Amino acid sequence: MLDELNLPKDLSTLDAASLEAVAKEVRDRIILTTLRNGGHLASNLGVVELTTALLSVFDALQDRILFDIGHQCYAYKILTDRRDRFDGLRLTKGISGFPDPKESVYDKLVAGHAGTALPEACGYAAADKAMGVKRENVTILGDGAMGNGHTLEALNNVCLYPKQIIVFNENDFSISPADGAFTRRFLSFDKGFDGKIDEEKLADLGLAYIGRVDGHDIRSLVEAFRLAKNYDGNVLVHVKTIKGKGYALAEEDPVSKHTVGGGESFSDRLGDALVTLAEKNDKVAVVTAGMKDGNGLAEFARRFPDRFFDAGIAEGFAVSFACALARAGMKPYVVIYATFFTRAQDQILIEAKNLPITFIANRAGLVNNDGETHQGVYAYPSFAANPELELLYPSGIEEYEKMVEWSSSYDSPLAIVLPKQFYSMESDFQKPNQQYVVKKAGSKVIIAALGALAVKISSQVSEILELSGIACDVLNVRSPRHMDEFDFGDKDVYTFEEGYTQNGFAAYLSSFVKLKGSFGLTKTVAHGALEEILFDQGLSVGRIVEKIKEDYED
């Protein structure tokens, strides 16, 4: 059926039975493509009927449909203008796994971090009001967005900016199971959809209420959305869905099947060292922000439930919470993806001063396939901006474990920055100011490599350069704060980092060491395989070898 339709326009002409047939094809397409390419599986399967019904009622070009969180958008992409490109999901030069206005006129925001959709909907509605324009602004909340600070800030403003339609997708999950006062409030609305609007239930938020609607019954969804569209005011449509719907493995375990693909990651072993530490020290606590399983913390949570705290998708709250734990005498470890840590920059800079908190920035540097919103490439400048924070980059799991063990007796702020990919490398780490030369070639050339991927690639570069008669040392910069203590002698120094050199490690090192060259990011990082990203950025082994050889040609 999909191939015969002029999408999304024709959806408004179909009856419920035909829309159900469309939804089935969309679900099959999502399953097959995601299992092949990797991506967000369970979160997208839960909103197939919801999205199909939305696009049959609203004009996706004239109206604005905003997904929060963006990992619910696969069905929307298929049913707007990317049906023929969906096989390239998350692949190099293919379509992104998140909404992006650069990709399509149907995407109304860049969404990859939670909580952005409703604030943007408020802005759109305010602009409509100021310019005398009538449009529908539809925000789809879900996967824990109701516990996000940005969403709550927007809810405080929604009443000021009509007209808005908020679709609350209740599926019992963030990425891990969802909890919190707002989540519980909506769970208490157990009445089924009766085809009417309740103007009292959410009057304190300036919202009328429609619900609870079966999120997999297209007839009910269409009826509810039409009711909301014709209502003269802001309205919340409460929809109940099953995360992973239509794929048994995802329905049974929506946490592990939230995303699929990607192979072994550092996250698989991240939590083990924290469990070992907690066994020895009853003051050790772990704080995360809605990503218990993604950060490999399930075993810690099981073993030490009274010392594990999931703040939901609220990174600023998580760091402030950890500050209080530290002031009360505990030893907190805050584990968050590097791309999301930037949301807690103020708390890290101001509140965490002089406190014994360890920040573990998972998935820092280059992150394949997820695209621009999930890159951890700002970890170095974000943490380095705090002069009182110690900064460590392990070259592999062995060094990470030693760093965690050392951190237990450190009484000031510390950040340990981890890659997404899993690496293993022997380490002699004892304390931060001891740098480690991975490869000693007795040469005049040295690459100062920041991070596990940079160390690995630089070591391969050194081996190839040796075949051309260029001896090259490789320095594992595991403690960038202490580079002023390292003696480079008269060596020609290159740097390599998974970040932008103009405001990163190269810029810092060049303030007291003359650099022969620097290797880092030169442009925005798109989605794709890691090897293709490296080549595109000029950071593949071959391109670095070529550049260094050019510098030493007669």
In 3D, which of 443, 439, 471 has the Cα closest to residue 457? 439
Between CA 126 and CA 123 the distance in angstroms is 5
> In the 3-class helix/strand/coil scheme, how is 453-515 assigned residue by residue?
HHHHHHHHHHHHHHHCCCCEEEEECCCHHHHHHCCCCCCEEEEEEEEEHHHCHHHHHCCCCCE
Which helix (H) or strand (E) is 92 found in, with range?
A: none
Bridge partners of 168, per DSSP, are 141, 238
Instruction: Return the half-sphere exposure (C-beta side, CA atoms, 13 A cut-off) of residue 236.
Output: 27
In 3D, which of 19, 104, 91, 53 has the Cα closest to residue 261? 91
In 3D, which of 507, 401, 494 has the Cα closest to residue 447? 494
24 is catalytic: no
From 136, 315, 351, 390, active-site residue:
315
From 292, 331, 343, 363, active-site residue:
343
Distance of CA 29 to the CA centre of its chain: 24
Q: Which residues make Cβ contacts (< 8 Å) with residue 332, sequence separation at least 6? A: 285, 286, 287, 322, 325, 326, 356, 357, 358
From 64, 243, 363, 491, active-site residue:
243
200 is catalytic: no
243 is catalytic: yes
Say whether 193 sits in a helix, a strand or coil. Answer: coil
Which helix (H) or strand (E) is 286 found in, with range?
A: strand 284-288
349-354 long-range contacts (CB < 8 A, ≥24 apart) are 349/385, 349/386, 351/319, 351/320, 351/323, 352/319, 352/322, 352/323, 352/326, 352/386, 352/389, 352/413, 353/388, 353/413, 354/388, 354/412, 354/413
Q: Give me the phi and psi of 439, to 5 degrees please.
A: -130, 120
Q: Are 422 and 397 in contact (CB under 8 A)?
A: yes
Residues marked as catalytic: 243, 315, 343
